[in-house]
Amino acid sequence: MSRGRLCTDLAPPSRTSVLNCAAIQPPYQAGSRLKVIPRDQHCISRKNISDNALKVMSRLRNKGHQAYLVGGAVRDLLRKTNPKDFDVATDATPEAVHNLFRNSRIIGRRFRIVHVRFGPEVIEVTTFRGHHGDGDSDSQNNSGNHSRQSDSGLLLRDNVYGTLEEDAVRRDLTVNALYYDPGTFEIYDQVDGLRDLEQRSIRIIGDPATRYREDPVRMLRVLRFAAKLDFTISSETAAAIPECGPLLGEIPAARLYDEFLKLFLSGHASKSLDKLVEYDLLQDLFPDTDECVHDDPNVLVLLQKAMSNTDQRLVKSKPVTPAFILAAMLWPEVSRLSKIRRDRG
């Protein structure tokens, strides 16, 4: 894999390094499937990484922990775009991370993470996840290891900790499972994420149907990243979506609302709507609206115009609100019911 094919230097303003360059023990062993991409074969530089993320990794590593930049930040830097967020993965438990940073708090129950706040910037720190089947599904031990699944396979708790290699296969998409080592400047790839990044492909890690049953929101994430990155969805990843769509009914409304905001208020609402219709997930989020779309093609045209206008407002840095998107999505059914009422006199 050539450095030139994958990305080029981003050349943002220079920053002073705060990280000790001494390498920690490599996170892989002999016979590992983990691919190691050396410094001279990629373009990521610590100059392009948030100073605060570097501070977090530096403190963790100086205390003997592993700490790596992970996920969307690595993906975006390789794609020559500026990351919106910088996430860190470590072998330190949430409690250990919290004890190291006074400006932090542990959030989440299903999936416990630590937010380390530096003014307006939040660095999200996650502990390496292990195979949830290795944990005690009925109790929580002193280290916090705990996992629990519903009868349908839905992960109710996923706090079993493991190694970097185990963490990689527990993530959702291959392109989001790349790790950057700020000590050796290497990239670690356990799941062929670099290949999929070059091929502009969205692929779920593991068996798609099983991963969707564990967390149905992954289906929405697949569509969202395909829309955001303008990538294609691999055939295996796509095939299981329509049949697993009804599982979204098991997700709490608050969590679905958060994903709804990411779908429609991140500058790619029009493409996201296309994906929801294409993969039959609109019926699982807005069933009445989906029925109207199938009854009258003009309804989809109206919705597309609303989403396109929202995207354009974001490009122009104009304000947008969830209320407008919700009103647009619900308007077809409201209009239909209003017509029925008028016809009845």
Residue ranges in the chain assigned as alpha helix (H): 3-6, 51-62, 72-78, 94-100, 164-170, 193-198, 208-214, 217-229, 235-239, 241-244, 253-264, 269-278, 282-285, 287-295, 297-315, 322-343
Whether the pLDDT of residue 338 is over 90: the answer is no
Q: Residue 239 falls within a domain, yes or no?
A: yes
**What's the pLDDT score for residue 343?**
78
The verdict on whether 196 is a catalytic residue reads: no
Q: Residue 157 falls within a domain, yes or no?
A: no
Confidence of residue 25 (pLDDT cuts 50, 70, 90): low
Mark 25-61 as b/e (b = at least 16 C-beta within 10 Å).
ebbbeeeeebbebeeeebbbbbebbbbbbbbbbbbbb
CATH number, domain with residue 223: 1.10.3090.10
Whose CA is closest to 185, among 36, 2, 3, 29? 36
- Residue 144 or 320, more confident: 320
Give pLDDT tens digits for 212-270: 999 999 999 999 999 999 999 999 999 999 999 999 999 999 999 999 999 999 999 99
Q: Kindly report which listed range (8-12, 20-24, 163-167) carries the lowest average pLDDT score.
A: 8-12
Q: What is the DSSP code (8-state) at residue 164? A: H
Out of 76, 91, 158, 172, which one is annotated catalytic? 172
Return d(Cα 335, Cα 301) in angstroms, integer: 15
Range of the domain at 302: 200-345
Give pLDDT tens digits for 58-85: 999 999 999 999 999 999 999 989 999 9
Whether the pLDDT of residue 7 is over 80: the answer is no
Confidence of residue 337 (pLDDT cuts 50, 70, 90): confident
Both 230 and 172 in one domain: the answer is no
Q: Residue 100 falls within a domain, yes or no?
A: yes
Both 229 and 244 in one domain: the answer is yes
Out of 85, 192, 274, 288, which one is annotated catalytic? 85
In Å, how far from its chain's centre is CA 92?
21
Confidence of residue 339 (pLDDT cuts 50, 70, 90): confident
The verdict on whether 172 is a catalytic residue reads: yes
The verdict on whether 136 is a catalytic residue reads: no
Out of 87, 91, 189, 290, which one is annotated catalytic? 87
Both 182 and 252 in one domain: the answer is no
Both 236 and 340 in one domain: the answer is yes
Whether the pLDDT of residue 154 is over 50: the answer is yes
Q: Residue 139 falls within a domain, yes or no?
A: no
